[in-house]
């Protein structure tokens, strides 16, 4: 795949970051790599890199930093997925500002390209894909299935379900690497999904982004925030082995009224505060 670069006198950036959406397995990484290679092959830009906005690495702040370290002073970020939802469009400039501030990059300019889905040229690309489909094998109703997993019909009996956020805000705080770390630790301890102890599920945004990286553990309803490797290790050893939520890493939930109108706490001490925590004033507030 190669990409035609536009003939125009637009100011050429030092670096281009293609921003993709991650997913399961190696395919999202391979697809983004192919896109990066195609743009590099055009030879127009000195630096071309890929980053994932969620569910994959490297994440955007890390790649921005790498571009600057390689000498870039003007960087264009181009989302290369469709569609780009409204909350992400509003949030992207904030995460860029935060990254520039964090790394003291006052002399760096970052420009956000339009969403791919808004570009008129996309229609041509879609038409090419449709035309190329003429060469593809048809899928027929009576064709033999290529795979069938009997386990897909059984509901597993796990002691804990852990919802681990790899949504865009948490991903930029390193949640994808933390999720991998959690999986490794669980496997080392013999607690992973095969053991029936903990089923970890990656999720999109769970809402309290300012508390990220975030994980919620059921059936206890224990919300953990500001996770790092040490916190993950403690949660594995204490919560998943001994059933004791790790209080320093818990985040308070709003008090809930029971059916008699009385104030009650979430199970296992997960509700620790009088009111819900809302994050630092001025921090990102997601639009859902």
Query: Is residue 94 near ligand FES by the rule CB under 6 A?
Result: no
135-174 binders of ligand FES (CB under 6 A): 165, 167-170
CA–CA gap between residue 158 and residue 71 (Å, rounded): 49
Of residues 178 through 217, those in contact with ligand FES by CB under 6 A are 205-209, 212, 214
The verdict on whether omega for the bond into residue 274 sits within 30 degrees of 0, i.e. cis, is no
User: CB-based burial of residue 233 (10 Å sphere; 0-12 exposed, 13-18 middle, 19+ buried)?
Assistant: middle
Q: What's CA 278's distance to the chain center, in Å?
A: 21
DSSP type of residue 236: I
Which is nearer to ligand FES, 225 or 245 (by Cβ)? 225
Q: Which residue is nearest to ligand FES (CB)?
A: 167
Question: Tokens 């919560």 appear where?
Answer: 239
- Is there a contact between 199 and 158 (Cβ–Cβ < 8 Å)? yes
Nearer to ligand FES, 221 or 286 (CB): 286
Contact positions with ligand FES (CB under 6 A) in 214-243: 214
Nearer of residues 15 and 166 to ligand FES, judged by Cβ? 166
Residues 54, 86 contacting (CB under 8 angstroms): no
For the CB of residue 172, give the shortest distance to ligand FES in the complex, in Å.
9
DSSP type of residue 267 = G
21-80 binders of ligand FES (CB under 6 A):
none
The contact pattern for ligand FES, residues 7-26, with x = CB under 6 A and - = no contact, is: --------------------
The distance between the two most distant Cα atoms of the chain, rounded to a whole number of Å, is 70
Instruction: Give the binding site for ligand FES (CB under 6 A).
Output: 165, 167-170, 205-209, 212, 214, 286
């Amino acid at each position: 795949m190669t990409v035609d670069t536009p003939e125009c006198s637009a100011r050429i950036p030092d670096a281009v970051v293609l921003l993709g959406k991650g997913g399961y397995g190696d395919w999202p990484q391979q697809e983004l790599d192919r896109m990066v290679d195609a743009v590099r092959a055009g030879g127009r830009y000195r630096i071309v890199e890929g980053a994932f906005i969620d569910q994959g690495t490297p994440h955007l702040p890390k790649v921005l930093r790498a571009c600057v370290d390689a000498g870039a002073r003007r960087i264009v970020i181009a989302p290369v997925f469709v569609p780009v939802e409204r909350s992400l469009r509003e949030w992207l400039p904030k995460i860029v500002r935060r990254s520039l501030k964090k790394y003291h990059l006052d002399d760096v300019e970052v420009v956000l390209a339009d969403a791919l889905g808004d570009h008129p040229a996309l229609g041509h690309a879609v038409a090419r894909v449709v035309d190329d489909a003429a060469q593809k094998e048809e899928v027929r109703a009576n064709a033999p299935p290529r795979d069938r997993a009997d386990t897909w019909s059984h509901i597993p009996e796990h002691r804990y379900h852990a919802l681990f956020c790899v949504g865009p805000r948490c991903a930029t705080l390193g949640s994808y690497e933390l999720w991998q770390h959690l999986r490794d630790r669980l496997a080392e301890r013999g607690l992973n999904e095969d053991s029936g102890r903990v089923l970890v599920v990656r999720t999109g945004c769970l809402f309290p982004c300012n508390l990220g990286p975030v994980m919620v553990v059921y059936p206890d309803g224990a919300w953990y925030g500001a996770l790092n490797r040490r916190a993950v290790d403690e949660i594995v050893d204490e919560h998943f082995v001994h059933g004791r939520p790790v209080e320093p890493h818990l985040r308070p939930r709003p008090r809930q009224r029971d059916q008699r109108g009385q104030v009650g706490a979430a199970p296992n001490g997960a509700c620790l505060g009088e009111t819900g925590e809302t994050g630092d004033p001025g921090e990102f507030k997601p639009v859902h």
